[in-house]
Structure 1
Amino acid sequence: MDRRRLVFFPLPLQGHQTPMLQLASILYSKGFSISIIHTNFNSPNPANYPDFTFHCIPDNLSESEASTEDLTLLLHNLNTNCVATFEAILSQLMSKFDVACLITDIIWYFTQAVADSFDLPRIVLRTNNPSSFMAFTYLPLFREKGYLSAQGTQLEEPVQELPPLKKKDIPRIYTRFPELNDEVTHKLMETTKAARGLVFNSFEELEGSSFTLVRQHFQIPVFAIGPFQKQVKASFSSLLVEDRSCIPWLSAQPPKSVLYVSFGSIAAIDETQFHEIAWGLAHSKQPFLWVIRPGLVRGLNGRAPLPNGFLEIVMGWSRIVGWAPQEEVLAHPAVGGFWTHCGWNSILESICQGVPMICLPFFGDQMNNARYVTDVWRVGLRFEKGLKREDIEKGVRSLMVLKEGKEMTQRVVVLQEKASLCIEKGGSSYQSLESLVAHILSF
C-alpha cells in the first residue's frame, strides 16, 4: 500500500524547527511519507533526514529583515512574503501525491486560507506548552484590565485568571510595532480555531489542567503526544555549529558536578548582566559548561570578551563553547544542573534527563514556563530580583550542592519517570499519538 503523505511547514527558528522535524519523524515511523516545505532563511539540512523530501521556498527577506531582533516584525514579514510561493509548491505536491493533510507551525497563520482553498485539512503544532498558550489567548483581556502596563510592585501581583502566574509572567514579545503584535496574536488564535487539530509537545501528567483549559477554549481535537525527543533518535536540526569538544571534557568530571549554562539561540543580555553572570559562576566555585554564542551580548558582534581575570580563576574547572549538543549534554552523567532561558524545548529536555534548573526567562512564553518550573513542579529556582553576582553565587551553590537542590533533583526525577511512562504502550502520549494517526487517516 502506498504511504499517505503529510506536508510539514516548520517556522524557521531553532525552537520551532526542532520539534516540527521530530514530529515528522514520529509520524514517518507510523507509516506516512513526509514532505517538508521550508524557507531559505534558517533552512534545515536535508542530508540529516534522508527519508523526507525537502522543498525550499524563497521568503524574500532583506538582510535587515532576516533578523530575530524584532520577532514580531519577522513573523509578520514571513507570513506576508511566503503566501504565493507556498501556495505554488503545495499545489505541485498535491498534484503529485495523495496528501492526507498539512501540518504547520501555529504561527504560519496564512496557511489556513491556503489549505481551505485546496480543501486540505490543516493541523497545527504549538511548539510551546499549553499553559503558556492559554496565557497568550488571554492577552486581550489582560490588556483591557491593565495587567500589561503593570510596573514596580504591581508586577508581583497574582493573575487571578491564570494561577500561578504573576503579572510579570504574562507573555511579552518586545517589538517596535505593538499593533503588529496584536495582529499576529489575533490571527494565529483565529486560524487555530479553524484548524482540524492542535498538537503539543507535552504530556497530560505534566500539564493536565492546562490541557483541559485549551480543550474548553478551542473546541478542536487536542493531542498531547510529547515528549517528542524521547520518541526519536537524537535530532540533527541545530542551526548553529555544535562544539563537541565539551563531551570528552564532561566525561572527565565527577557525576552531577557540572552546571550547564545556555540561554538558547535568540535571547540577548547586556554587558553588565554578562559580567554579573561570569563573576557569579566564578565565585560559586562549581564546575560549569557555559555556552557563549555570537550575539549573546546585545550590541556585540562575535563572542563577547570575558571580564579581566575571569579565565585565570575558572581555568581547570570550567569550559566555554560557542554552541553545545544540548540533548547530549543534559543526558551526560556529569551534569547536575541547567541554567536556562526557559524555552519550552529546553525545559522538556531537562525534565526528560532529570536535571533541575535555574531559570532566567527573557520574553514570550519563557516567564510563564519559569513560573511553572519554580512554583508548580518545584524543580528549579529563579533570580526574582535581577542578576547580582552574589545572588548567582548563592543560587548556583543552592542548586548544585545544598539540600534545596537535592530535593529539586528528587522531584524532577519523578517527572522524568512520568515522561518515560507516558510514551510506553497504554501511556497517555502513546494513546494520544494513536488518536492523531487515526484522525489523520479519517480525512
Structure 2
Amino acid sequence: MEVSRDMQIQAPKVPHLVILPIPFQGHINPMLQLATLLHSKGFSITIIHTDYNSPNPSNYPNFNFEPLPVGLSDGQVRTKDLVTILCILNDSCQAPFHDRLSRLLLDGPVTCIITDELFYFTKAVADQLKLPRILLGTSSATFATTMASLKLLRQNGLLSITDGQPNTLIPEIPPLRIKDIPDIGMIDPDSFEQLGADVLNAMRSALGYVMNTFDGLESTALAKIRQDIHPMPLFAVGPLYKFSPGSSNSLLTQDYSCMAWLDKQAQQTVIYVSFGSSASFDKRDVVEIAWGLANSNQPFLWVVRPGSIHGHDWVELPKGFEEKTREKGHIVKWAPQQEVLAHPSVGGFWTHNGWNSTLESICEGVPMLCCPYLLDQNVHARYVSHVWRVGMQLENGFDRSEIEWAVRKLMVEIEGKEMRECVGALKENAMRCMAKGGSSYESLESLIHLIMSL
C-alpha cells in the first residue's frame, strides 16, 4: 500500500546553533570547544567569525563557517588597549552580523545563537530577529564577581591608588588588593566601567550563561553570580577542553618538536614558560627572564613568541645564554600547551594566568609561577597564590636573582611540593565534576535540555 504524504514519518529536525566567538585566542578556544561538544550531542553548528583572526575551517569539517567582514584597520588591530578594540568590534560587527544571520534564516530556522558575553551588540540583533541567545563567559567566575563590584567600589572611593598603597587589601572582595583590580593603571577607567555596564545590561535578556569553570574550584563565586548578579540559568560546564579534546584552534603554528625533548627529561623536573598570545615585554625583561632560567639550573621549555619584545617581530636572546642552557633548555615559538602540561616531565608552569592557561594547569595538576600581564590575569594570579594555593606570584618585576629563587622554590623546595599536592587535589575534583552525576556533567545535560526545549 502506498503511504500518503500526510502519513509519512518526518525525520526530526536537527537543532541549528549559530556560534559567534570574539577573535582572540583566549576566547576562540573555549567557544570552539563548546561548539565541538554540542555537535557531538547532535546539534548542527554554524560558526560566524570575523575576518580578523579567523579560525581554520579545515580543522572542523563538520561545521559551517560564515565570514563576517568588519574592516578593521592595521592600527585598530595592533592597539594594546583591549577596551578600545572591544568597543570597535561591537560597533563594527552589528550590521554585518544582522545581515549574515538574516540570510541564514532564509535557508531554515536557527534554534539559538551562542555568543561571547563581551559581544553585547548581539542583544539588539537577537531582539530584532526574535532569536534566543545564550552567552559564554571565557574568564573565571571569580573575575565576573570582581567586575560586578567595581562600580560600587569606585563610588565609595576604594579604588584610588593616589595614596601610594597599591598593596592595600580591599575588605569587600578579599583577598584582592588595590593593584589586583583590572582597571587600575588603564588610560580611561571610565571606558572600562562602561564596557562592563554594557555587557551586564546585555546579559539580562539572555536565555542562559555558560561558564568554563567547575563548582569544585569556584563554588563561592558561582553561588554569588546565581544569587546576586545574573538572574538567567548558569551552566558551569568546565573544563571545556577536557570535554572536547583536540578542539582548540591555535592562531599560531605549534611546534611539536618540544614533545620529543620532553620525553627525554625526568619526571616533574621541567618548568614550562609561556606568557600567552598577547603579552610583550621590554628587551631588558627578556634578558632577565633568560638568565633567571639559566641560573636556576632547572630544565625549561620556553615559548619565545615573535612579538614578545615591544616593537620587535623577533627576539634576540643574550649572548652566552644558548651555550649555558644547551643541555637544560628548549625554546620554541609556540607550543601545544595542553599536551605539554599533560606531559609527566612538566612539574611547573610560569604563566601570565589567562583563564584558559590557569584552568589547564590546574586540571593537569601543575603548580604555577604567576606573572599576570593585564585585566583578569591579576585576579587569577592572586587566587592561584592566596586562595587555591597552587602557585606563587612574581610581583617585583623581572630580576634574574628573584626569578632563579622563585623557579627553584616552585620546582625543588618544600613549598613547591605543597603546591603540587594542592593542585593534585583540585585536578581530582575537576575529574569528579566531569564524571556522570558530577556538577559539570549535570550542568551540560541541563544546557542541552534547555536548547532542545526551544
Return the TM-score normalized by structure 2.
Answer: 0.95
Between the aligned partners of 1:70 and 1:419, the Cα distance in structure 2 is: 34
Deviations 1:223-275 (A, max 9, x none): 10000011112224000111111111111111111100000001122222222
Q: How does 1:34-433 map to 2 (within 5 A)?
A: 34-151=45-162, 154-172=165-183, 176-216=187-227, 217-300=229-312, 302-433=313-444
How far the C-alpha of 1:31 sits from its partner, in A, is 1.4
Q: Helix, strand or coil: the match of 2:302?
A: strand
Between the aligned partners of 1:130 and 1:27, the Cα distance in structure 2 is: 22
Quote the sequence identity (%). Answer: 50
Deviations 1:363-409 (A, max 9, x none): 11001001110111100011233322111111100111111111111
Q: Which has the larger radius of gyration?
A: 2
Could you tell which deviates more after superposition, 64-73 or 398-407?
64-73
**Structure 2 counterpart of 1:396, one-letter code:** V
How far the C-alpha of 1:412 sits from its partner, in A, is 0.6
- Residues 389 and 147 of structure 1, relative CA distance in 2, 3 Å threshold: farther
How far the C-alpha of 1:177 sits from its partner, in A, is 4.7
How far the C-alpha of 1:173 sits from its partner, in A, is 7.6
Q: Helix, strand or coil: the match of 2:210?
A: strand
How far the C-alpha of 1:91 sits from its partner, in A, is 1.0
How far the C-alpha of 1:178 sits from its partner, in A, is 4.3
Give the corresponding residue for 2:22: 11
Which sections of structure 2, spanning at least 5 residues, go unmatched?
1-11
**RMSD of the alignment, in Å?**
1.4
CA contact under 8 A between 1:70 and 1:174: conserved in structure 2? no
CA contact under 8 A between 1:76 and 1:180: conserved in structure 2? no
The count of aligned residue pairs is: 442
Q: Helix, strand or coil: the match of 1:35?
A: strand
CA contact under 8 A between 2:15 and 2:43: conserved in structure 1? yes
**Structure 2 counterpart of 1:279, one-letter code:** W
Between the aligned partners of 1:213 and 1:144, the Cα distance in structure 2 is: 21
**Structure 2 counterpart of 1:205, one-letter code:** G
How far the C-alpha of 1:151 sits from its partner, in A, is 5.0
Which sections of structure 1, spanning at least 5 residues, go unmatched?
none
How far the C-alpha of 1:181 sits from its partner, in A, is 2.4
How far the C-alpha of 1:188 sits from its partner, in A, is 0.8
CA contact under 8 A between 1:230 and 1:420: conserved in structure 2? no
**Structure 2 counterpart of 1:417, one-letter code:** E
CA contact under 8 A between 2:281 and 2:308: conserved in structure 1? yes
Between the aligned partners of 1:150 and 1:313, the Cα distance in structure 2 is: 42
Between the aligned partners of 1:57 and 1:175, the Cα distance in structure 2 is: 30
Between the aligned partners of 2:411 and 2:444, the Cα distance in structure 1 is: 37
Q: Helix, strand or coil: the match of 1:313?
A: helix
CA contact under 8 A between 1:372 and 1:378: conserved in structure 2? yes
**Structure 2 counterpart of 1:272, one-letter code:** R
**Structure 2 counterpart of 1:200, one-letter code:** M
Give the corresponding residue for 1:434: 445
Could you tell which deviates more after superposition, 138-147 or 170-179?
170-179
CA contact under 8 A between 2:46 and 2:65: conserved in structure 1? yes
CA contact under 8 A between 2:30 and 2:248: conserved in structure 1? no
**Structure 2 counterpart of 1:418, one-letter code:** N
Could you tell which deviates more after superposition, 178-187 or 242-251?
178-187
Between the aligned partners of 1:152 and 1:399, the Cα distance in structure 2 is: 33
Between the aligned partners of 1:425 and 1:156, the Cα distance in structure 2 is: 43
**Structure 1 counterpart of 2:230, one-letter code:** F
- Residues 89 and 173 of structure 1, relative CA distance in 2, 3 Å threshold: farther
CA contact under 8 A between 1:71 and 1:175: conserved in structure 2? no
CA contact under 8 A between 1:156 and 1:168: conserved in structure 2? yes
